[in-house]
Amino acid sequence: MKILLVEDDPELRRNIRQYLSLEGHMVEAASDFAGAIAKTDEHAYECVLVDITIPGGSGLDLVKKIKKDQPTTGVIIISAKNSPDDKVSGLDLGADDYIAKPFHLSELNARVKSLSRRMNQSGSAEVEAGELRVNTDSRTVAVNDRVLSLTPKEYELLLYFIHNKNRVISKESIAERLWGDDISLNGSYDFIYSHVKNLRKKLGEAGCSEYVQAIYGTGYRFSVS
């Protein structure tokens, strides 16, 4: 997938590029408004990640322009102004998603994937990973045509793993993915452990026991090889 990242902070830009490139995405970057306009005029991107506060203009104007010129391009707003008004006006302008700083790269990656799936209307609602076949319409997971009985949270967790396959994902990132901002006030992330344990058990019963690995007790990695 061809992605344009518009972000003025060089370090953050490098980290996002590095993380998304691991997936095989082609990530180009622009650091300001003019650079972003030049890139979008020249190339067609499947997905554009736009920081609202960029030098030389407003990210919101950029969103408006991209959505007008290339309606099939998915746009995700990255904003340091985590305010509901900002989010609403961004989405009103046609942005497809909104993510507030600071965010987990694994979360951003998952958002990019699900956006690309939504944008790609001709594509199927199936996501495959090893033996697993995930149907994102019916929200079911099957192994060799046998449907696994997962709770809604386990389904979300598995999909998050698949979206970030071969990456180490932190517990905080999982907690925020499954429970949003609400749970982070909770302090301890031990509850993630039992959720992952249950998921691993169900995958194990279906013969996919090796898919989720615990990494030194602080994170997890999903891989199918």
Partner 1 sequence: MKLLTRTTLVYVTITIAVFALGSWLFYSFLNDLVIEEATELIEIKKDIVLDALESDSVVRESLLAEDVHIIKGSVEEYITDTLMYDSLMEEPVPFRVIHFPFDKDGIEYHVMISRPLLESEDLQEGMISSFLISLGILIVMVVLFMWIASRRVWKPFFDTLAELKRFAPGKKNALSLPETRVKEFRELNIAIDNMAANIEASFHALKSFSENAAHEIQTPLAVIQSTTEVLLQDESLTEEQHNKIAHLSSTTARLSNIVSTLLLLTRIENKQFQQETPIDLSEVVNGKLELFRELFEQKSISLNNSITPNIKVKLHRVLAEILVSNLIVNALRHTNEGGYAVVVLNNSEFTVKNSGTPLKGDATRIFERFYKEDQSELSTGLGLSLVKMAAEASGLQISYKFENGNHVFSLNF
Which spans of this chain sit near partner 1 (rule: CB under 8 A)?
A: 9, 11-12, 15-16, 18-19, 22, 53, 80-85, 100-106, 151, 153, 167-168, 170-173, 176, 179-189, 191, 194-195, 215-219
Shortest distance (Å) from residue 184 CB to partner 1: 5
Helix (H) or strand (E) holding 189: none
Distance, in Å, from the CA atom of 68 to the CA atom of 60, rounded to the nearest integer, reads: 12
Shortest distance (Å) from residue 190 CB to partner 1: 9
Nearer to partner 1, 144 or 151 (CB): 151
Nearer to partner 1, 18 or 138 (CB): 18
Shortest distance (Å) from residue 121 CB to partner 1: 29
Shortest distance (Å) from residue 153 CB to partner 1: 6
Query: What proportions of the chain, in percent to the nearest 5, are helix, strand and coil?
Result: 45, 25, 30
Distance, in Å, from the CA atom of 190 to the CA atom of 225, rounded to the nearest integer, reads: 28
Nearer to partner 1, 43 or 81 (CB): 81
- How many other CB atoms sit within 10 Å of the CB of residue 73? 19
Amino acid 139 reads R
Shortest distance (Å) from residue 154 CB to partner 1: 9
Distance, in Å, from the CA atom of 128 to the CA atom of 100, rounded to the nearest integer, reads: 29
Q: State both tokens at 197.
A: 């344990």
Distance, in Å, from the CA atom of 19 to the CA atom of 27, rounded to the nearest integer, reads: 10
User: Which residues contact residue 78 at a Cβ distance below 8 angstroms, ignoring those fewer than 6 apart?
Assistant: 7, 49, 50, 51, 52, 99, 101, 103, 108
